[in-house]
Amino acid sequence: MKKDKSKRLSDWEKKFSKEVKIETSKEFFHETDEGININPLYTQEDLLDYTFNDIQTLPGEWPYTRGPKASMYTNRPWTVRQYAGFSTAEESNKFYRKNLEAGQMGLSVAFDLPTHRGYDSDDELVMGDVGKAGVAIDSVEDMKILFDGIPLDKMSVSMTMNGAVLPVLAAFIVAGEEQGLDRKVLSGTIQNDILKEFMVRNTYIYPPEPSMRLVADIIAYTAKEMPKFNSISISGYHMQEAGANNVQELAFTLADGMEYVRAALSKGLAVDDFAPRLSFFFAIGTDFFMEIAKLRAARTLWAKIMQDFGATNEKSLTLRTHCQTSGVSLTEKDPYNNIVRTSYEALSAVLGGTQSLHTNSFDEAIALPTEFSSRIARNTQLILQNETGVTNTVDPLAGSYFVEKLTEDICSAAWKIIEEVEELGGMTKAVAAGMPKLSIEESATKKQAKIDSGKQVVVGVNKFKNPKEPKIDVLVIDNEKVREDQITKISTLKKDRDDKILKGHLNKITEAAKDNTGNLLALSIEAMRARGTVGEVSKALEDAFGRHYATNVGVSGVYGKFFEKDEKFMDIQNKINIFEKEKGRRPRVLIVKMGQDGHDRGAKIVATSFADLGFDIDMGPLFQSPKDVAKDAIENDVHAIGVSTLAAGHKTLVPELMKSLNAIDKNNKIVVFVGGVIPEQDYQFLYDNNISAIFGPGTSILDSAEKVIELISKK
């Protein structure tokens, strides 16, 4: 005879409590970074009384929790993508062709930082960044080389671009037309989620409101002229990379989407005229089931949101997404572990129902990916598609008590944040108020504190360390050679064009931007066709809109509270107190980003955690030149400068900083330390340039702080 359900649960409770030596299973709740309690057991009872998630629905059916398509991968697997782009258009083109031959299905283009920020390669402000974090694109001529031999009527192209989105997208369209193609056949996505740039990644140029004008004009133009092209990819990816938890990533991304819908409606478009071409982009981190549930929750909430906007077309109601495995989960220590991380992150994305996927290479916490590492990353997806059987069943985890409850919990938590954003007047106003940025920075600091304190295990970093770290080959880009080549091409371009015709097009852009008339993408296409450069079109817009400069507001007290009574934490505080007694003031540190790299997660975490330890902290503005940093450091009489680098500018920008410091004061005793993505083989180069310490990804904040106070004390 079967026991009744309550008796079975009671018996399980007793057995569980006895085995784990606690009074009741309720003591065993695990609280996630999102503040969601994970129970040790889920049953049928956890499937009752849902507000958002309806477990009776089917794939391809409202609200699309189980997938945007009825057939999903049984009919067609997800698109295998891989971001590529480095050095010159010529080198990137070779790389693209090889990848396509090896099984890649779509192109995902990464541009270098000067291109993102609307500077041409010959601008002195970008000397250290050209061709480093992506491909340098200055004109239509570069774009034509980039896609040489690649039929743009058959290949879907995804391009991440924000600040200089108009000239870059315009150059792509003209390149397609000069292949002999009608723009109507061009397919792909432009990932111009500008609002997220003001929260995390910072590759903006113009202030929020005029930036939204650009988005609206792109949506309006592509809806009419490019029906196969996704006019925007709304990106949560970079939020998670900056430290957002999954609920924050989901909520702020959907809130961004709502703002873009409103921007398009303001152009007089009907919602179903453009909404089918909206797409999303999410990061997939290491919390396996949470990531699966996040993608299911995203579709569920978006269907509700779009219905509220009056959408009736099924394609308007379905959230389609591209995903990328986490970059922030990649570790410099024991890097082959990253292959495992990427593999299960990829599986999580697939079980969550992504439509396309990019898998990171295992060496991306060290340097740019090599051909060898890229092949492993790509094959990860091909193995999933061809060997695991995951494409044989649609939404195989549906009905899981845990996954369904987690989907509902994420929906509920994300919806609360969306309502908070709406109360502030929508995402543009929320961004202006700084609410999303600060909440993400707080989450990032908490995460780092958990890792540094050992409360969260990272294998090979804070536990199960490898006593013998492997040597990894890395891709090296000759930045100076790339820049010289680009400058030559720009010079040739300007000699061969009609400057008078171009000037007329640039003036029209400025006037239309000032007067809020015309379509700025349409005007940018004509300027790029007349062989304008990315920098020239960007400047024409800047003349009307101005350039945006962010202000730094950090969080405080978040890191320190994870280390109450921690011996090492208190020892560092004691050393700082001794320094203050001996020198009459606390050790002062300037934390900076140089060049055009806007990834400031690491810099912000170091600044806030060092402040909690007792350092006096100055935070430099983004996009500083080495000369600016040296001037600020000496004027503010700091003891040390901490340089955060991610885009491989350390071999050009850091030596320039040292030269600038010595030029101002030959006797300066400022300690300079560097952190970020730096290959080990570059360490000696930096030491030879008088750098005092180098902290790679995964370095404990406490370890770096201890080293810094020791170095300052010796000076």
Mapping DSSP to helix (H, G, I), strand (E, B) and coil, where does residue 590 land? Answer: strand
Is there a contact between 257 and 228 (Cβ–Cβ < 8 Å)? no
- For residue 316, give Cα distances in angstroms to 230, 275, 294, 467: 12, 5, 20, 53
Contact 453, 561 (CB under 8 A): no
Please provide the distance, in angstroms rounded to a whole number, between the alpha carbons at the two ends of the chain.
80
Is residue 599 part of the annotated active site? The answer reads yes
Which residues does residue 80 pair with via DSSP β-bridges, in sequence order? 357
User: Residue 104's closest CA among 374, 286, 329?
Assistant: 374
Cis omega (within 30 of 0) on the bond before 63? yes
CA distances from 126 to 90, 361, 594 (A): 20, 26, 10
Identify whether 322 is a catalytic site residue: no
Among the listed residues 294, 593, 639, 651, the single catalytic one is: 593
**In the block, residue with structure tokens 């500018």:** 649
Contact 369, 342 (CB under 8 A): no
Cis peptide before 621 (omega within 30 of 0): no
Count of C-beta atoms within a 10 Å radius of residue 276? 19
Q: Which amino acid is at 575?
A: K
Tokens 């995390």 found at:
200
Active-site hit among 489, 599, 639, 651: 599
Give me the catalytic one of 597, 600, 612, 682: 597
**Could you confirm whether 358 is annotated as catalytic?**
no
Name the DSSP class of 140: H
281 strand-pairing partners: 235, 322
Q: Is 494 a catalytic residue?
A: no
Known active-site residue 237: yes
Q: Say if residues 518 and 508 touch (Cβ distance below 8 Å).
A: yes
d(CA 376, CA 343) in angstroms, rounded, equals 10
- d(CA 131, CA 655) in angstroms, rounded, equals 19
Exactly one of 96, 237, 260, 559 is catalytic; name it. 237
Tokens read off for 98: 């090889």
Max Cα-Cα span within the chain: 92
Rounded Cα distance between 54 and 52, Å, is 7
CA atoms 79, 85, 89, 94: torsion sign: negative
Catalytic residue among 238, 437, 639, 650, which? 238
Helix ranges (H only) for 516-586 are 520-529, 534-545, 567-583
Q: Which of 33, 69, 73, 83 is catalytic?
A: 83
Q: Where does 39-143 show beta strands of DSSP type E? A: 79-84, 106-109
Both tokens assigned to 383:
């193995």
Specify whether 116 is catalytic. no
* Residues recognised as catalytic: 83, 237-238, 593, 597, 599
